[in-house]
Chain A
Amino acid sequence: MATTDANAPTKASWIQKNKLSIAPWFFLIPALCFFAVYVVIPIFESLYLSLFEWNGLYRADGTSTAEFVGFENYQKLWTDPKFWVSLKNNVLWLFLFMLAVPVGLFIALFLNQTVPGMRFYKSMFFFPFVISQVVVGLIFGWFYNPDFGVVGSIYKALYCEEVTNLLGNLTTRCDGSPPDILSSAEYATYGIIAAGLWPQIAYCMILYLTGLNNVAVDQIEAARLDGAKGWKMLWYVVVPQLKPATFIAVVVTVIGALRSFDMIAIMTQGGPFGSTNVLSYYMFETAISEYGERYGYGSAIATVLFAIMLVFISYFLYRMYQDEKGGR
């Protein structure tokens, strides 16, 4: 019977003795497995692949056609102008995307007031972050379109006249041609970044809005009694209290800028002639697009992007670690 055992002296098993230290690992196992299979192992596979030249094919007997080339892929990167264009665009993205942080802050300050219907306005400002990036890309693609977009329509209204052409159909005749932002090597990247900023600003705004809820009212009042107002109030009293929100906003913006891919894929496919490529899109184009199939070279690009991201991620993790230590 079950009760007899209760009186017997129990010998604690190893599992029972170490329950507390095992339990967390036990619960972590599923996440660790997936993280290893989908993140950690692919990172090493990709590093390894970058030392090969491979078109992704296997021979009929199942052996790989990959050929070991050592660091040749990296040497090629060094002399590849398209790689440098992509890298330059990545830097552009990184800097211009940072605008999302201050702009988001000001919109948040603007919206942080009690007016009837404020929730509605807030949700309207947040809207671009909710809709898919693909939709944002399409909308901006049409916006810039020189034939039927907003940009084209405004230009046509100013500089074009409607005439009947030789075959009796209506057509527009213009002085010069309307600006074609997405087909211009000079401006296309800026056009895409502007599209990317729209949802990113909304994201930063929502981070600051939640941050503003936690701003200590007594400190604001104390500052007001001491005569602080306007910019000084913002800079010395409000912004320091928003530091956690700022940190997160900067982190998501940096990562968002470095992995910008969907906007480019939708709006220009890296064109015209590769001038809007960034590393992530160039990697996709080289490795798995129709005209690519160069897996080794694509992996080398991925490795460079990974190294750049690693710098930022290590810094962020370090900061978070320091903050946690300081908080205790």
Chain B
Amino acid sequence: MFHKTKTALAAFAATTAMTSAAFAGDLVINFDDLNPAPKAAFEAAVEAFKAENPDINVTVNINDREAHKTAIRNFLTADAPDVTSWYPGNRMAPFTDAGLFQGVDDVWDDNGLRDTFAAIEPTMTRDGVTYGVPYSYYQWGIYYRKDLFDKLGLEEPQTWDELLAACAPMKENGVTPFTIGTKFLWTAAGVFDYINLRTNGYEVHNALTAGEIKYTDPRIVNTFKNWETLINDCGFVDNHASMSWQDALAPFANGDAGMYVMGNFAVSGMKDAGLTEEQIDYFQFPQIDASIPRAEEAPADAFFIPTNAKNPEDAKKFLAFIARADIQGPWNDAIGQLPPNSEATIGESKFLKEGMETLSTAAGLAQFYDRDAPAAMAKAGMEGFQKFMLDTSTMMEVLEELDRVQAEVYK
């Protein structure tokens, strides 16, 4: 029966013409971003690779991000490309556990990536094997309305108390401190991750997403208590459960909300909403406990080699090529993100500079709750966060339910 389904899937993959047959010297690459800037930057990198390796015949398939998430489950077995884009952390775990990605420790060792990619290496490694090479990542943090802060005479808060103190004048003047849109859930996970990283640190984040500590653990309860304080003393916009993250930009752009816990990709959304670079700025999520080393969220995008790749030799050449500082620098400059290679040059934008400063000095880099935790746990967890944000009195109920899911997901 499973075989029958498999042949059907294979036929499906073949008809959608994701990949073409390859022989020696042919390199097939599947990429997953059709947006103009990322697509152009990827294509520029491929052109540079072709120029250096004229004997390799490169074929590129670019698909939409969501379609890619579905297609990869079929093409890895049915008709594997030589290189495919995917995400590190727990998102790669189903594929590495099923043996669908091959380890590339030799690429890492031969090209000195263990040094230049030291910060991100743990999330690329599973059970002692390193998979794939990341080509881009970006920082998270608090984006705020600088003009609003100036008007109220506020400084960028460095500590939790300063943050809570900054909220009072905002509320007095009719400004909601935080905007957020939790309709699609993941935005709430960003807030949770940061409060948890600041309250308990990187190890607890990893232990929690690995299922090693319970949600009713006193440390996690403390995280939720801090979150409750943030909701009560600062507060998020009303109706956040019916807004997407883009919808939530509206009160921010109008000056009705002052801060937004977000990833750097939100900057272009803010500019599209009519804000100038002078009106917005970035600060690191404030420190809660001075004894906890500062860790950050930095979701990465990477390239992997499927086990069924027909031309793994050239695929490794490609991975080594895109790991180079002189490739990652211009690539990420073009898409407004940060190069994981610590030797690469970064773009001119003040957000990128601050982001680089933030990430290069971080004690640890988390991928994001829904990439570090298994899918079923992430879904339940994020629903729990939303429930808690709508009604903080459900805290223990939410945590107990998450314990139940956790016991089921991690066996």
Contacts and interface: CB of A to CB of B under 8 A. Distances in A.
Interface of A: 45, 48-49, 55-60, 62, 64-66, 76, 79, 81, 145-147, 163, 165-169, 171, 173, 177-178, 180, 182-183, 185, 269, 271-274, 285-286, 290-294
Given A165-B255, A166-B148, A272 B370 contact: no
B82 interface: no
A39 to B, nearest CB: 16
Contacts of A169: 254-256
B259 to A, nearest CB: 14
Contact of B256 (A49, A58, A165, A183): A165
B239 interface: yes
Interface stretch (B225-233, B286-294, B356-364, B373-381): B373-381
B312 to A, nearest CB: 12
B401 A81 contact: yes
Interface string B176-211: 000000011100000000000000000000000000
Contact of B239 (A60, A147, A294): A147
Nearest to A146: B239
B367 interface: no
Interface in B362-411: 370, 375-376, 378-379, 383-384, 386-387, 390, 401, 404, 408
B contact residues, range: 35 or more
B77 interface: yes
Given A59-B100, A165-B175, A177 B376 contact: no
Nearest to A163: B174
B386 A273 contact: yes
B275 to A, nearest CB: 11
Interface string B137-167: 0000000010110011000000000000000
Contacts of A81: 401
Contacts of B379: 285, 291-292
B332 interface: no
B98 A183 contact: no
Given A58-B98, A291-B370, A291-B376, 10 more contacts: A59-B100, A60-B99, A62-B77, A166-B175, A169-B255, A171-B174, A180-B242, A185-B387, A273-B383, A291-B378
Contacts of B69: 290
Contacts of A272: 241, 386-387, 390
A271 B385 CA distance: 12
A45 B175 CA distance: 56
B383 A271 contact: yes
From A165, A166, A169, A293, name the one whose CB has the most chain B CB atoms within 10 angstroms.
Answer: A166
5 contacts: A62-B6, A147-B239, A163-B174, A290-B66, A291-B378
B6 A166 contact: no
Given A76-B408, A272-B387, A180 B238 contact: yes
Contacts of B271: none
Interface string B63-74: 000100100010
B216 interface: no
What 5 pairs across the A-B complex have the smallest Cβ distances?
A: A183-B241, A167-B255, A291-B379, A64-B2, A60-B307
A292 B376 contact: yes
Given A177-B238, A272-B241, A60 B174 contact: no
A65 B370 contact: no
A59 B98 CA distance: 5
Contacts of B98: 55, 57-60, 65
B89 to A, nearest CB: 14
Contacts of A57: 73, 76-77, 94-95, 98, 100
B222 interface: no
B211 to A, nearest CB: 16
A59 B99 CA distance: 6
Nearest to A52: B2
Contacts of A65: 98
B35 interface: no
Contact of A171 (B73, B254, B401): B254
Nearest to B256: A171
Contacts of B242: 145-146, 180, 182-183
B255 A166 contact: yes
Nearest to B307: A60
B94 A293 contact: yes
Contacts of B73: 56-57, 293
Interface in B80-104: 94-95, 98-100
A173 B386 contact: no
Contacts of A168: 255
Contacts of A66: 2
A273 B151 contact: no
Interface in B246-285: 250, 254-256
A25 B3 CA distance: 31
A186 to B, nearest CB: 11
B173 interface: yes
A166 B241 contact: no
Nearest to B306: A60
Contacts of B21: none
Nearest to B254: A169
Nearest to A152: B239
Nearest to B66: A290
Nearest to B4: A45
A292 B375 CA distance: 6
A89 to B, nearest CB: 15
A25 to B, nearest CB: 26
B307 A45 contact: no
B6 A274 contact: no
A273 B376 CA distance: 14
A61 B3 CA distance: 12
B77 A271 contact: no
Contacts of A48: 1
A76 B370 CA distance: 23
Nearest to B183: A271
B308 interface: yes
Contact of B173 (A166, A182, A274): A166
B148 A180 contact: no
Contacts of B384: 273
Nearest to B147: A167
Given A165-B255, A177-B239, A55 B6 contact: no
A182 B329 CA distance: 44
Nearest to A267: B242
A287 to B, nearest CB: 11
